[in-house]
Amino acid sequence: MKIKTIKDVEKLDAKIEKELGIDVKKYKNEKIANSFVELLVFPTYVSLCLIRTILASLGIFIIGFFVVDLVHVEYVIYGLIGFILFLAIGIQIGILILSWKIKSDIYYIVKFTLEITESALTDINKINSKITKVNRKEVFGLLFKGIIHIVTIPTLSKVIIDKVPFVAGLVNKIVKRVLILVTEKIKFSSEELEHNVMKNKSQLNAIQTNTSPITSISTGLEKVMNFTFGIVQLPLKITSVILIIILILFVLIIN
């Protein structure tokens, strides 16, 4: 089930409630929101990454007035076009550097979402017997997707808008894109799910523990994250390279 619109999210929510008898929205609470706030480190790096790269880029732009052979109107042309190109490159590289900071945070967000999913699985076991060894993998996958779209993404979006200066909209798009891709790429092992359930049969709430038994359930989570961020970062890398090539050609032409 592909999730692309708000209606798709609503259908997913209804499907989970109908098939599993649980309201995923109940996990969208203040405790979860506060946990996400604690897990997000990158907002403190936003200003630092952008300001540093922009200042470095504009510094090179200013040095260009003394290095590039300019005469008369060329100073104005270089001043206008050069400023725009150097500023754009500084912003692009700053966002690219920031994306590496985001990657680490999102890794822990996904692991925490897996813990919430395990908690939901425990809650389902308490109220019905829909989960068996045979269908545990499918149920867990459905729950995980539901919690990502109904709990994690909306909660993180609010946190990012509140905490991230300047580029909250762009960062929110990157984070949302990554989480959606993760739900599509991540795979679960039936054997590991069953092993963890038996190991933690008496555990009431996975979120309350110091270590999460769910960590080993996902197959190649780190590889999934690397692949996902590779996809998300590709447009930023391509745009940065194109801007640098344009800048080099511009300097060569005006010199």
* % residues pLDDT > 70 (the chain): 81
Residue 96 included in any domain: no
Residue 186 included in any domain: yes
Residue 69 included in any domain: no
Residue 222 included in any domain: yes
CA dihedral (103, 188, 140, 101) in degrees, to 10, reads 0
Residue 19 included in any domain: yes
Residue 213 included in any domain: yes
Question: What is the reported pTM?
Answer: 0.71
**Whole domain around residue 137: which residue ranges?**
6-51+101-254
Residue 228 included in any domain: yes
pLDDT band at 204 (very low <50, low <70, confident <90, very high): very low
User: Residue 37, class by beta-carbon neighbours within 10 Å (0-12 exposed, 13-18 middle, 19+ buried)?
Assistant: middle
Residue 126 included in any domain: yes
Calpha distance 208→115 (Å, rounded): 9
Domain count, the chain: 1
Question: Beta-carbon neighbour count of residue 100 at 10 Å?
Answer: 13
Each residue's pLDDT tens digit, 32-59: 888 888 888 778 777 788 888 999 999 9
